[in-house]
Amino acid sequence: MATLYTKVKLYLEANSKTWDAEEDNIKLANEGSGDYIHTWSVDGLNKPSDSQLASYETAGNTEESNISVRTTRKAAYGNIGDQLDEIYKDIDGWKARIKKIKDDNPKG
């Protein structure tokens, strides 16, 4: 299940806004009964309804899965300096290693 943060972020992006630009205008909270939007003061954009947020569930799940994949790939790729050295010494070996990392960690 996608987090409220991810669904709100996607809602903002679908309406030409970004979380980074609006983070001071939005506060999420959880007082024990689940996450909710505590504060919403985004200029020119109404607070999303529950049904609007629910419509981002599938996209949110994909986004969160892809974040996990990117994190895993980044760790497996290693340091960029080491990669450049590997490319210089053995570009075909580097290509094969990167392809295996991508094949082992596909995006959604």
What residues does each domain of the chain span? 4-77
pTM of the model: 0.76
pLDDT tens digits, 59-108 = 999 999 999 999 999 999 999 999 999 999 999 999 999 999 999 999 87
Helix (H, G, I), strand (E, B) or coil at 16: coil
Task: Write out the E strands in the chain.
Answer: 26-30, 35-40
pLDDT tens digits, 39-59 = 999 999 999 999 999 999 999
- The single-letter DSSP state of residue 25 is G
Ramachandran sector of residue 32 (left: φ over 0; alpha: ψ -120 to 50; beta: rest): left
